[in-house]
Amino acid sequence: MKTFRRGGVHPDPSKITADVPIAPLAASAKVELPLSQCIGAPSVPVVKPGDAVVAGQMVAKAGGFVGAPVHSPVSGTVKKIEKTRSPQGLWQETVIIEADPESVNPQPLAGRADELKPEDLKLEPSEIVKRISEAGIVGLGGATFPTHVKLSIPDGKKAEMIIINGAECEPYLTCDDRLMRTCAAQIISGTKLLMRAVGVDRAIVGIEENKPEAIEAMRFAATVSPGIEVVELKKRYPQGGEKQLIEALTGREVPMGGLPVDVGCVVDNVATAYAVFDAVCRRRPLTQRVVTVTGPSLTNPGNFLVPFGTPISRLIEAAGGLPDDTGKVIAGGPMMGRAVSNLDAPTTKGLGGILVLPESMSRRPAVQPCIRCAKCVEACPMGLEPYLLASLSRLGRYEDAARRTIMGCIECGCCSYSCPSGRPILDFIKLGKLNLRKKK
């Protein structure tokens, strides 16, 4: 079974929502659409307060080439364009729409009838990229990098294959798993469109071994598609990290500071592939996604199909409400997710999961002295020396840390996870990266 070569950890998968089917969840009457939903320039609003919008209408255009438009998931009236708080409580410019009550339900997922039409595969690659760009599709694995930018291969580089990331190595999260089980055919169709868009005839779908149903569904869907290979991967974190996935599937190493396309790969998440299908074949912009709402003490954890702009608190309500013993709410998975301080913030394109941890699990272990056990060095999938980077950064020796490739850190968290002394290794590495970026 394929896997990446060095480092990695084996956190308890805790996929408690793996067998809960995707349930649609209606948006609330007030839909908040933040303008910065992708890495890159914030979107520029094209509507004014008082304007009527219909579901799927663009409310903000891309703020630049590296940027994506934002579409309204609902019909209704634009109330205000003002600052609201992000899940981390920071101000963000937001379009607030008052939704018509009959339009708040999410669009149903593509069914058996929504197949790829033969003429879709004859589309010009540029037309496919244009449709993807107009639909506001960004990487749905969490990085939210605009997909059309990835598909525009820079001059002098050559893509050889598309890699579809279905690893979902983060514990607890199951949204990709469920999507693969439900919409395997559409994901494969989306993959074909991506292959046509960049002009390659090969694609590899990588899925971790703990999702046998998804692997089977994807294999079945890909049987008649030459060039698309579904590969079972070992259960190991961070299998779904871009560089690790490429290494596991192709054996190629993305050069330090380089992009996947430097080794001929274009990596997209399964949810992105599905969104591509939706955008190109059904001409639907990206206005919703599957979000896993999970946690050991939630009464009704599940996978929900939600329109963007729905408050996080509404998602938690749907999962049975915030338990009394809640200690921490995390946007994303437990390894790389960000702690949430404001539960009223809306869901956005990059949010794949809400994890509610009880008080007992949200406390960090007591910090003890580093005993130089080298567990972090063993765990680092990038081959860095986290203990060294963390102490250099703690001492303010950022230049020395840069010399030891601190910027190569992918912030997967394996070092802090495995540190027996409970040292906040990644915190200090992040601090170092922050300061180095500030200096530039």
Partner 1 sequence: MNIILTTIIVLGMTGIVAAVVLWFVAKRFHVYENPRIAEIEELLPGANCGSCGYSGCHAFAVACVEATSLDGIECPITSNATMHEIGEIVGLAAAENTARVAIVKCNGTCENRPPLNRWQGPRSCALEASLYVGQSDCANGCLGCGDCVAACPFDAIAMNQESGLPLVDYGKCVGCGRCVAACPRGVMDLAVFDASKPLVHVACNNHDRGPAAMKVCKVSCIGCGKCVKVCPAGAVAVKEFLAGIDSEKCTGCGTCVEACPRNSITSYNKES
Partner 2 sequence: MKELTISLSPHVHSGRTLDRCMWNVVIALIPTFAVAVWTFGAPALWVVLTSVAACLATEYAIERWLFHRPCTLTNGSALITGLLLGFNLPSILPLWMVIIGGVVAVGIGKMSFGGLGQNIWNPALVGRVFLLLSFPAAMTTWPAVQSGMDAATGATVQADASTGATLLAQLNAGHDSMDGAHLMDMLVGHMNGSLGEVGSIAILLGLVYLLCTRTITWHIPVSVLASAAFFSWAFGGNPLLDLLAGGLLLGAVFMATDYVTSPMTHAGQILFGICIGAITMVIRRFGSYPEGVSFAILLMNSFVPLINRYMHPHVLGERRKKK
**What residues make contact with partner 1 under the rule CB under 8 A?**
85, 88-91, 338-339, 341-342, 362-364, 394, 424, 427-428, 430-431, 434-435
Nearest distance, CB of residue 348 and partner 1, angstroms: 15
What is the per-residue binding string for partner 2 in 190-229, x denoting contact by CB under 8 A? Answer: ----------------------------------------
Structure tokens given for 156:
């002098």
> Is the Cβ–Cβ distance between 38 and 144 less than 8 Å?
yes
Residue 190 φ/ψ, nearest 5 degrees: -60, -40
Nearest distance, CB of residue 119 and partner 1, angstroms: 47
Q: Is 345 in the site for partner 2 (CB under 8 A)?
A: no
What is the per-residue binding string for partner 2 in 232-251, x denoting contact by CB under 8 A? Answer: -----------x---x----
Nearest distance, CB of residue 9 and partner 2, angstroms: 7
User: Which does residue 64 bind out of partner 1, partner 2, none, counting CB within 5 to 8 angstroms by kind?
Assistant: none
- 342: number of Cβ within 10 Å: 16
Nearest distance, CB of residue 426 and partner 1, angstroms: 9
> Is the Cβ–Cβ distance between 250 and 263 less than 8 Å?
yes
Quick check: helix, strand or coil at residue 246?
Answer: helix
User: Which does residue 265 bind out of partner 2, partner 1, none, counting CB within 5 to 8 angstroms by kind?
Assistant: none
Q: Is 413 in the site for partner 2 (CB under 8 A)?
A: yes
Instruction: Quickly list DSSP for 176-240.
Output: HHHHHHHSHHHHHHHHHHHHHHHT-S-EEEEEETT-HHHHHHHHHHTTT-TTEEEEEE-S-BTTT
Looking at the chain, the number of H-run helices and the number of E-run strands are 13, 17
Q: Is 314 in the site for partner 2 (CB under 8 A)?
A: no
- 284: number of Cβ within 10 Å: 18
Q: Is 339 in the site for partner 2 (CB under 8 A)?
A: yes
Residue 107 φ/ψ, nearest 5 degrees: -65, 140
CA distance 171 to 13: 4
User: Which does residue 413 bind out of partner 1, partner 2, none, counting CB within 5 to 8 angstroms by kind?
Assistant: partner 2
User: Which does residue 404 bind out of partner 2, partner 1, none, counting CB within 5 to 8 angstroms by kind?
Assistant: partner 2
**Of 66 and 436, which has the nearer Cβ to partner 1?**
436
CA distance 43 to 430: 27
Q: Is 437 in the site for partner 2 (CB under 8 A)?
A: no
Instruction: Quickly list DSSP for 13-65.
Output: ---TTTTSPEEE-PPPSEEEEES--SSSSPPEE---TT-EE-TT-EEEE-SSS
Nearest distance, CB of residue 431 and partner 1, angstroms: 5
**Of 89 and 101, which has the nearer Cβ to partner 2?**
89
Look up tokens 């255009």; give the residue. Answer: 61
Can you tell me which of 175, 298, 377, 402 binds partner 2, judged by CB under 8 A?
377
Can you tell me which of 296, 411, 435, 436 binds partner 2, judged by CB under 8 A?
411
What is the per-residue binding string for partner 2 in 349-368, x denoting contact by CB under 8 A? Answer: ------x-x-x-xxxxx--x
Per CB under 8 A, the segment of 19-27, 155-163, 266-274, 419-427 that binds partner 2 is 419-427
User: Which does residue 109 bind out of partner 1, partner 2, none, counting CB within 5 to 8 angstroms by kind?
Assistant: none
Look up tokens 């569904």; give the residue. Answer: 217
Instruction: Measure CA 413 to chain center.
Output: 16
Instruction: Measure CA 65 to chain center.
Output: 20
Q: Is 154 in the site for partner 2 (CB under 8 A)?
A: no
**Of 11 and 285, which has the nearer Cβ to partner 2?**
11
Instruction: Measure CA 136 to chain center.
Output: 15
**Of 304 and 398, which has the nearer Cβ to partner 1?**
398
Buried b (16+ CB within 10 A) or exposed e, 302-331: bbbbbbbbbbbbbbbebbbebbeebebbbb
Vertex 162 angle, CA 121 and 215, to 5°: 95
Q: Is 171 in the site for partner 2 (CB under 8 A)?
A: yes
Per CB under 8 A, the segment of 47-55, 77-85, 281-289, 333-341 that binds partner 2 is 333-341
Residues 6+ away with beta carbon under 8 Å from 223: none
**Residues from 105 through 124 that contact partner 2 (CB under 8 A):** none
325, β-bridge pairs: none
User: Which does residue 434 bind out of partner 1, partner 2, none, counting CB within 5 to 8 angstroms by kind?
Assistant: partner 1
- 31: number of Cβ within 10 Å: 28
User: Which does residue 11 bind out of partner 1, partner 2, none, counting CB within 5 to 8 angstroms by kind?
Assistant: partner 2
Nearest distance, CB of residue 207 and partner 2, angstroms: 22
Size of the site for partner 2 (CB under 8 A): 71
Can you tell me which of 203, 351, 417, 433 binds partner 2, judged by CB under 8 A?
417
Nearest distance, CB of residue 341 and partner 1, angstroms: 5
